[in-house]
Amino acid sequence: MFRVKTAARFGLLGLTIALSACSVLDSDKIDYKSASKGQTLEVPPDLKQLSRDSRYALPGGVVSANAMEAGKATQTPDSQAAANHMGDVRIERNGDQRWLVVQRPVDKLWDPVRDFWLENGFTLALDQIDLGIMETDWAENRAKIPQDFIRSTLGKVFDSLYSTGERDKFRTRLERRPDGSTEIYVSHRGMEEVYNTANKDSTVWQPRPADPELEIEFLRRLMIKLGVPAEQAKAATASAPKAAEVRVANQDGVPVLQIDEGFERAWRRVGLALDRTGFTVEDRDRSQGVYFVRYVAPGTDQKEPGFFGKLFSRAKSATPPLQYRIVVRSQGNASVASVLNASGAPESSENAQRIVRILADDMK
């Protein structure tokens, strides 16, 4: 259901009800061209802070994230991953996860990928080739707003008064492979505006789950941008079997994430979960299966957290960030992800348990 912004909500409410019905356009239609940069959106300060700092800021602590050094991929992809070849581009898949493998180096792909996001109506909040990370600002999918009588008649004069109550952000991660080709991952994060009082007289912004379908749609469009015919790109991004199971367990008093698949797939799934949930990955070493992350522990003076609140806080914490290592290791035909402290020792703290839980929630 779309929203009419507060300033004009009451003036247009009666006319809107009389002349149109609230219906959302086809779910596969995407139009971010009229989205504005986060700082100019008429949204609460919390969301502006998210746009500026590229981090969540919700009840319960902060895990911020910007992946570092995309040039350390030293192992070949899992040969069992499904792949479709189209020229120098192919797509590989694992459950609802997709990624592209392009037979071009990162420096030859960076400009086309940047142009792709700009052409799709986004501005970039992060654009750093040395990190291998490109991230859009928060934007709104205006296609979700129905083209009712008022909008079609009065046009852009009143168009800005309408809002979906949702914002989206996309991170693109480019990883170099030993053979000189590049893996491209696209991850989504979403926010939604919800009423926080019984009278529905005020709202707050809170995270909503990542949308794999949006990730796949933008990978399809990116394939076309890179030279793949539209029909081939559509067929290549079709659905695939569900990914292997993940679960939280305890090994020798340490919380771990058990993943029922080999290292290569587990490494990719953990990396995508870090991207989707907004971690700052300061470095990564694929050959050792290690992500180096920063984490700010939840404050004791915060209110009871809600969705994702176990991990994120509403305001910046004065507590300095803690450094952890998230390690992915092979264990027979499966893999295990665990949390180590900055010195490389196993971590069994509440923070480690929280990190493992949030990764598991995203990967299920």
Mean pLDDT of 64-72: 35
Q: Comparing 75 with 351, which gets the higher pLDDT?
A: 351
Summarize pLDDT for 190-247 with one digit per residue, the tens. 999 888 888 888 888 888 888 988 999 999 999 999 999 999 998 888 766 677 889 9
Which residue range(s) make up the domain with 157? 3-363
What pLDDT score does 51 carry? 34
Mean pLDDT of 38-66: 34
Summarize pLDDT for 154-177 with one digit per residue, the tens. 555 555 556 778 899 999 999 888
What pLDDT score does 147 carry? 62
Summarize pLDDT for 277-321 with one digit per residue, the tens. 878 778 888 889 999 988 876 653 444 444 444 444 444 445 677
pTM of the model: 0.65
What pLDDT score does 53 carry? 35
Cβ(265)–Cβ(81) under 8 Å?
yes
What pLDDT score does 96 carry? 73
Instruction: Give the count of alpha carbons within 13 A of 101, CB side only.
Output: 19
Q: Percentage of the chain surpassing pLDDT 90? A: 37
What pLDDT score does 164 carry? 77
Q: How confident is the model at residue 9 (pLDDT cuts 50, 70, 90)?
A: very low
Cβ burial of 168 (10 Å; 0-12, 13-18, 19+) is: buried
What pLDDT score does 197 carry? 87
Cβ burial of 233 (10 Å; 0-12, 13-18, 19+) is: buried
pLDDT mean across residues, the chain: 74
What pLDDT score does 150 carry? 53
Q: How many domains does the chain have?
A: 1
Instruction: Please state the separation of Cα 228 from the chain's center in Å.
Output: 24
DSSP string spanning 221-277?
A: HHHHHTT--HHHHHHHT---PPPPPEEEEEETTEEEEEESS-HHHHHHHHHHHHHHH
Q: How confident is the model at residue 23 (pLDDT cuts 50, 70, 90)?
A: very low
Q: Percentage of the chain surpassing pLDDT 70? A: 66
Summarize pLDDT for 130-152 with one digit per residue, the tens. 888 899 999 988 777 766 555 55
Q: Comparing 273 with 24, which gets the higher pLDDT?
A: 273
Mean pLDDT of 110-114: 97
The yes-or-no verdict on residue 68 having pLDDT over 50 is no
